[in-house]
A and B are shown apart, each in its own frame.
Chain A
Amino acid sequence: MSHIQDITKPEHLVYRKTPLLTDNIMHYCPGCTHGVVHKLVGEVIEELNIQDQAIGVSPVGCSVLAYNYLDIDWAQAAHGRAPAVATGISRLHPEKYVFTYQGDGDLASIGCAEIMHACSRGENIVVIFINNAIYGMTGGQMAPTTLLGQVTATTPYGRDPKLNGFPMKITELLAQLDGTCYVTRQSADTPGAVRKAKNAIKKAFQNTRLRKGTSFVEIVGTCNSGWKMTPVDANTWMRENMFPKYPLGDIKDI
């Protein structure tokens, strides 16, 4: 019978917080997908050993404070304009690994033009897109990606296509553009899904090194506060309702 003290020795360590993450306590709600994806970005940058070459562009939304948590260089863009700012940075510093980190309210709504044209130009950047079908920071309003019938603060009777239009599958739209080299949709709800998402983010950063064009990684995530659920229920709801509309997997890989 071995004691816990015998097991918890440095030589037995198999998983720990990546040093790329700072010691600041994240402001995200308990169970938020942002925390997992921040960690994955940090682990990928650590594994590729590009801490001093990675430049992130944070959006407006919950993840606006991402620069407090990942110990790399950051810029913060106006609402939706992260791909435009990333374009400027990557053209001035073509040897750097430039990525944007955006939510669905930021990328799919107000920043729709910027992401379309950045992908159309094939800028050598990575775009990480967190799709939780809601505006989380401002109190759970309807986003372009909100599902039909989904109750939000601004659609209290559910999203009605006659009044509010249809959900936007932005990742499929971007896959049609010639500038994108890698377009994928992942999730981060189970250990297996987290591993796959990490591989996708890693591949996206490697594409930057190969100068292949824009890599777009969508992560279907939860907003348990906005959805008014517990974190575990939110993951179940996401699997049952969001995955049929937003199927996981690689959409384009050239």
Chain B
Amino acid sequence: MAKFKGAIVVDNEKCKGCGLCVVACPTKVIELNPNVNGKGYHYAWMKNPDDCIGCASCGLVCPDSVISVYKMSVQS
């Protein structure tokens, strides 16, 4: 059965750390990074990258459009 693997790329310097992507993620992949960016915001990052399914929910709710979503099918 084909399975999907996803990944996100966050523009760290533009992320404002609002956390809306964290609650939007259905597989609890995203968390706010303990480190801060140049403006002092805790930016979003993939804490559990293996669970990402590339659904793009995070990208849809991101107010600053800093998330790009990638998705590829893999054979299990």
Q: Which residues of A contact B72 (CB under 8 A)?
A: 2, 6-7, 9, 12
Assembly CA distance A230 to B32 (angstroms): 14
State the majority secondary structure of interface residues on B: mixed
Q: Interface readout for B37-67 with A: 1 if CB under 8 Å, 0 if not?
A: 0000100001001000011110111111111
B5 at interface (Cβ–Cβ under 8 A)?
Answer: yes
Assembly CA distance A9 to B7 (angstroms): 10
Instruction: Sort A-B residue pairs by CB-CB distance and give the 4 closest, nearest first.
Output: A35-B63, A31-B18, A30-B16, A30-B18
Contact of B65 among A12, A39, A232 (CB under 8 A): A39
- Kindly specify which of A17-25, A51-59, A152-160 makes contact with the partner chain: A17-25
Number of A-B residue pairs having CB atoms within 8 Å of each other in the complex? 100
Q: Are A14 and B54 in contact (CB under 8 A)?
A: yes
Nearest-CB distance from A4 to chain B (Å)?
A: 5
Contact of A21 among B55, B60, B65 (CB under 8 A): B65
Nearest-CB distance from B58 to chain A (Å)?
A: 8
Contact of A8 among B7, B16, B17 (CB under 8 A): B7
Q: Which residues of A contact B20 (CB under 8 A)?
A: 31, 231-232, 235
Assembly CA distance A12 to B7 (angstroms): 10
**A2-B5 in contact given A30-B18, A231-B18, A232-B23 (Cβ < 8 Å):** yes
Across the two chains, which residue of chain B brings its CB closest to A1? B50
Assembly CA distance A35 to B64 (angstroms): 6
Q: Are A7 and B66 in contact (CB under 8 A)?
A: no
Which of A6, A230, A231 counts the most B-chain CB atoms under 10 A from its CB? Answer: A231
B interface residues (Cβ-Cβ under 8 A, vs A): 5-7, 9, 14, 16-20, 22-24, 41, 46, 49, 54-57, 59-72, 74
Q: Are B69 and A25 in contact (CB under 8 A)?
A: no
Assembly CA distance A232 to B21 (angstroms): 10
**A191-B63 in contact given A8-B9, A14-B56 (Cβ < 8 Å):** no
Q: Which residues of A contact B71 (CB under 8 A)?
A: 7, 12, 14
Q: Which residues of A contact B19 (CB under 8 A)?
A: 31, 230-232
Q: Which residues of B contact A35 (CB under 8 A)?
A: 62-65
Nearest-CB distance from A136 to chain B (Å)?
A: 14
**A4-B63 in contact given A14-B70, A25-B14 (Cβ < 8 Å):** no
